[in-house]
Every structure is written in C-alpha cells, then in structure tokens.
Amino acid sequence: MNDPQRLRAWFTDNWAHSQRLRVASYIAGFGVVMIVLGWATLARNLPDAESLVDYETPLPTVVRGVDGEIVHSYARERRVQLQYVDFPARLIEAFLSAEDKTFFRHGGVDLTGTLGAVIDYANPLRTGRAVGGSTITQQVAKNLLLGDEYSVTRKLKEMILATRIEGVLTKKEILELYLNEIPLGRRSFGVQAAARAYFDKDVGDLALHEAAFLAILPKAPERYGRKKFEGMAVARRNFVLDQMVANDFVSAADAAKAKAMPLGLVQQRSERSADAGYFLEEVRRQLIDKFGETAEEGSNSVYAGGLWVRTSLDIELQNAGRDALRGALLRYHGNRGFTGPVATLNPDNGDLTSQLASSNLSINYKGWRVGVVVGPSRIGFSDGEEYPIVDAPSTLKTGDVVAAERSGNGFRLRAIPEVSGAFLAEAPQTGRVLAMQGGFDSRLGAFNRATQALRQPGSTIKPFVYAAALDQGMTPATQVPDQTFCVYQGAGLGEKCFRNFGGGGGGVHTMRWGLEQSRNLMTVHIADTTGMDNVIKTFKRVGIGSYDPYYSFALGAGDTTVARMVNAYAALANWGRQNAGSVIDYVQDRRGKVIFRSDKRNCTGCNMEQWDGQPMPRFEPSGKQVLDPRTAFQVVHMLQGVVTRGTAVRLRDLNLPLFGKTGTTNGPTNAWFVGGSPDIVAGMYVGFDQPRNLGGWVQGGNTAAPIMKEFVQKTKDRWIAEDFVAPPGVRMVKIDRVTGKRVFEGTPTDDPKASIIWEAFKPDTEPPRATRSDAIAAKRNEILELIRRARQGPSAESKAKESNATRPGDFVEEQGGVY
C-alpha cells in the first residue's frame, strides 16, 4: 500500500472515532473556503494589470519659441519621462537598497517583508502607519492603479495586483514605471524631475550622495527636503549608503566619501520661463480649446499629454515690445506717485502672506516685488519675510497688495501705472504673432488687452476708408474738400456736423494729404462719396469689425482689438492677402507625431519618390485675398507719407521704409499707432481700462508712436531697409504733391517737403498730361491773385502769410479722432 492510500485509510478510520479531527477538518475547510471567497471578492473588481502595458505617464506640455528653444511648460506637477537605459546604475542601486533589495528575485510580493509589516501593524505601541512590506511592484500597483488608501484591504489588493503585474511586465519595465512615477516631493514625480528640483541636475550628472538622497524620498517626500529635517535626511541617506555597501553595489570607501558630503539641496525655484505671460496664456487657452485640459478630456491634454508645441514667439521682439510699452505707461504716469493697491486681501481670511502666496500675484520689473501690507508701515512677502515700509503713505491699509523696491533696511512703495495698454507684432506674410504684451505685467492679472480689450481705434481705421474709396475709382491724387460735413440723423437726433479737431479746415486737397494729416472732414467726405455701405464692407472683409453704416465709424468710433487692427494692417503690407493671426505653428504628441498645424496648405507632389520632369511643386498661396493688391499698395504708399511728413513724423529719423497711422479717439481716451515694414507689422494703444480722459495733450503721435520707435530701436538688426514692392498693375507717376497734378520735369527727392513725389496709380487712373491752356490759366490766376493782394494793401499780405503757415505740406501733428 502506498503513502496516499495509507493516509486515506488513516483518515477514514479516525473520522468516525475522533471528534477533534472532525472539528479541525470543518474549521480548516471553512477557512479555505473563506480565503478563496475573500480572494475572489478582492480580485474581482481590481483594475486590469494589462492596462500598464500601454500606460502613458502624465506629462506636461513643453512650449518652444520661434527658434526652437524651450520657453515654457504647462505643468501642475514636475514630470519628465525617461527610458530604462537612461537611468544610471548607481541611482537604480540606491533605490533597490532603500526600497526593495530582492526586487529582481521575488514575484511581486516579498513574504519576509510582508511578515515584518504584519508584525509592525499588530504592535500596540505603533503610532503611525505600519512600515515595510511593499515591494517596488506593489508601489507601482498602489501609485498607478489603486491609490493611497490606508487599509488592510488595500494592502491585499496591492499584493494581488503585484503578482499580476509581474505576469505582464518585465522587471525592467516595472522599474521604469516606478522611477518615472514615484512622488518625491517639491511637486516632482519621477527621479529626473526630482533631480532637477533638488539639485538642478539631470539624473546622469548626480553624485553618489545625491542619488542616495533621492532614494530616501519615497518614505517621506515632503519632509526630507526641508531645512528643519536636514539631520533626519542625512541619517536616512547614510543608512541607504550602508545598504548599498551591504549589497555590494559600492565600496565602503566610496560610501564613506559620500557620507561626508552635505545634502547640497538647491532652493525651490519657479519653472524657467520666458517673460511673455500674455503670449503664453493665449497659447495655453488655444491648446485647451483644441485638446482639453486634463487626462480625462483626452490623451493629448495640456497637463497630461506631453505635447511639444512650436510657437511663433520671438523672444527678442517680445522683450523689446514689452519694455517699450512699459516705458510709455511709466512716462504717462510720470511723478504721480502711489495711486493705490493692485489688489486687496482680507485679513479675516487668515495669514496675509499665505494668501499672497496662493494668489500668484507677482511682478518682473527691475528689482520690484509684490507684497502685502501686514500692519502699520509693515510689508510682508509670499516667502513669509516682513520689512518696514519707507515713507508709507497715510492711505495704506492692512491687506493692500502693493509693489515695492528695496530701500536700505526696508522697502519703498513703487507705483504700477494705473493707465494700461497693449502691444502686438505680426509677420504679414504668414500671420504669425511674434510678440504680444497685454498690459504692464501678466503676473498682476491675466486680462490680455491685446486680444480681449475692445477699444475705439480712432484714426487708425482711416486707411481702410481710403482703401474702399480707391476700389470705387478714387486715386491718391483725387481732390477732396476739407470742409464742414453735416448729416441729418432723424427727428430724434437732428443734424450731426463733423469737424476737425480744434475746428479749422477749408479748401480742397489730395487724398494723400488728407491721410497724412489725418483730416476728419476729408475722411467723412471720402466715406460719403464712396458710400458707407462699401466702407463698412471693407472693415468687415479685413476683420476689423462689423458695424452699422454710420459716418462716425469711418472715424474709428466702433470697438475692435489690437490683434484685429494689426492683422488688417498686415493685409495691407502683404498685397491685400490676409493670413489669420496665429501663435501656434504646430503641435506634436509625445511621440513626435504632428497633430496640429496652423499652416494647412497642401503641397501636391512634394513627397514624390522621383522627379517626374514637371515644374517643381510649390505650396499654394496662404491666406485669403481681402483687398485688391494694387489698392493695398496704394494705401501703404500713402501711409509711408504719414511717417515722412504726417502725424507719425517722429519715426522718420529711424531711416527705414516704414508705413503706419496714428489714432486718437474722442476725449482723448485712446492713443494708437499701427504700422511697420514689409516684414513686421505692430500695433499698440495706451488708455485706461475704464475709458476716461487721458488729458488734452495726449495724441497718437506723441504717446503711441514713441512705443513703436523704441521697439524698432531696440531691434534695429531685425529691420531690413528694403522698400515695399509694388504688385503688377501699379504705375508709379510723378505728381505735384500739393495739387496732385502730373508733372514731367524734375525728379522726386528724399526731401519730405519736396514738391514732386512718386505716386501709385492703377492703370488709366493717373492724372492726365497738363496742356498749354492749363499752364496759361494757372499763370493768369497767379497774376490776378497778386493784383488782388496789391489792391487790399499790407494787411491782406500779412493775412496771406498767416494762411500760408498752414498750407498743405507743412507738418501738422494729429489733433483728433472721433468727433
């Protein structure tokens, strides 16, 4: 009889006679059934371990500028994903020594460690969580599939999942997930992000003592990185080094050298980013609209998808535009001093410096800092430090958030200008936005005045009135009356009469002169001749806005944005072809696949394997034709005169072929300039957020145009001194600048007051050749005028000289906008 048979016979004989055997068997059987049922219950609803095969680490979105350099990242957590081969051996050995030295030998659960954890859990003297027992595989199961609930049930689920994970992933794949996902404090997940956060190094550059420090962090990630727990951190780090020696990973001598090293932690710092908050926020907003914000909204979400975004941000132009706008705001503010807080915190809501830290209010200008008034003549900052306020104004109240600058042992308040404004620069050939500044500093508020503020553009809209007129048959040399224009608006409103700023006017002048000198009356006459319906259609076609056909809109009374105005002027500079403004060039997913392009043009045949002998394939033209190319060039040519001898004459000494237009709205409440070169078009305005009078001296020419001048001066190497090129069908004809008549003798010069200039005409619209009778009539009129003055005496002659002081051709700074 073999052993199984003897055991069966023994059990049968004793079952009938032994009650103890029967009870023990029932208990054992019940226990087995309960274990099976419990195991089945716990395992039934567990996450699928195979989901880790395709698991993707939530990664931040990385943003690059126009030159490909990283300028920002959108991240709520620090995360960087590495492959297993990227992790240094010393770092892996440090984590194995600290967390799971039998990792490469067990099947997911370390029974010895688990038994130790059970004993610790049962210890009545324990005051915290039971420690030990979790292998690296179990930690992966907890972090990625289960969560951090503290219970025996969760621990059992963790063990079940760990065995399943070992069945679907290799040891290297498990370790790769662990080292990329483990939370290590300072908002860092994974060893690469932690190496940057604690040592400002990549993992490949870590010294032995630094690798050992990172390995201690899983036990208490928010404790060991703090200064007051430095002693505990050093002791724990040295323990890990001892374990590395015990596991034959390092020599005792190397460990001793590492123990002698200080922790060497760097201070926590904000993520490195370009100072282009308004631009980057616009990029973020567009990305969220396209791809979602979190992982729940899509695999390519902004805060988890690991996107790589190439933008059109040009750091050099951005910095110049930002500084130029800030300079103008500070100049306007002048010596007004402190004008009030930028925000107010409620002392009843807790510690004021903590409230300030959570508000994210800050500033990046010179040595200024944003602080909060914590008491009489005391200022506190987000790091908890407090200082006295030098010469504190009596109006200051506890809770006021202010800007301040170091002064001796304290801080002196600095005034952030109450007036604001915006700046935006664009490449006309592509529509790519190169720079964007929506206020003094985006850290003080996210409202972007370049894209969101609706403002009256004033006279900067006039070029498009003129464009509509040119399309209807007028020319730059057409004579237009600079005389009172009245229109009946109905019984309720009565008659409305337009006028130039400060009155004045009279006579008849060329369209060019009217645009150069920004004459309101001439613009309204042109709009009337053209038809307001045609003018409004032109505004809408170039994207400025959709308005009713009222004459005041021809003078800039309708609301629009800086972004729209710049994009419309870009169409002028691009032969009437308009590209939609864009801040994103293209977006790649985490694997490098392009998932979005702003330029959606096709190039048929560009990827053919062999040349077919046909002409080289080319991209189709980008954008949409919104203006006749000849009309666009005629307007640009006239707007160059605005810089040469008109309301933007202060830009002339830049010695560049610039075009542009100033604008000043009624009040004045807004001061504008929009213009540029064939390659860069920029627009800007200055005004209060709640529009109010800026002061009678403020005009587009003396407040906004200097922003453009400073912008160009700071980026002079980026501006090519090449003039605008005329499109086919434009005829350049010599004319008399004042009369608009064609001339055949003489040559135009660079003198801004030259009587002969080149003017752009469409075919068959240029002035006809002057006849002999025209010359005789002109001479006769000249003689008659001399006789009339002689008869009227000396007083008439002096009046004539006074009148000639404002003859067409003199420099007249713009005086108004909407009236």
Residue labelled with tokens 């054992």:
28
Torsion of CA 644, 650, 654, 659, to 10 degrees: -50
Q: Which of 73, 93, 99, 166 is catalytic?
A: 99
Q: Which residues contact 201 (CB under 8 A, 6 or more apart)?
A: 195, 210
Residue labelled with tokens 């005041």:
552
344 DSSP β-pair partners: 400
For 619, the token pair is 């991209």
**Residue 667 carries which side chain, given as an amino acid letter?**
G
CA distance 184 to 191: 8
Report which of 623, 678, 681, 724 is spatially closest to residue 460, judged by C-alpha positions.
681
CA distance 525 to 505: 13
Label residue 340 left, alpha or beta by phi (over 0 means left) and psi (-120 to 50 means alpha).
left
Report which of 709, 736, 718, 727 is spatially closest to residue 763, judged by C-alpha positions.
727
Instruction: Give DSSP secondary structure letters for 129-161.
Output: -------HHHHHHIIIII----SHHHHHHHHHH
CA distance 409 to 75: 37
Q: Which of 97, 442, 459, 598 is catalytic?
A: 459
CA distance 234 to 209: 10
For 450, the token pair is 């370049």
* Length of the chain measured in residues: 819
Q: Rounded to the nearest 10 degrees, what angle do helices 171-181 and 191-199 cross at?
A: 40
CA distance 685 to 691: 12
CB distance 428 to 565 below 8 Å: no
Residue 598 appears among annotated catalytic residues: no
CB distance 686 to 419 below 8 Å: yes
Bridge-based pairing of strands 485-488 and 495-498 is: antiparallel
Which sequence positions are flagged as catalytic?
99, 459
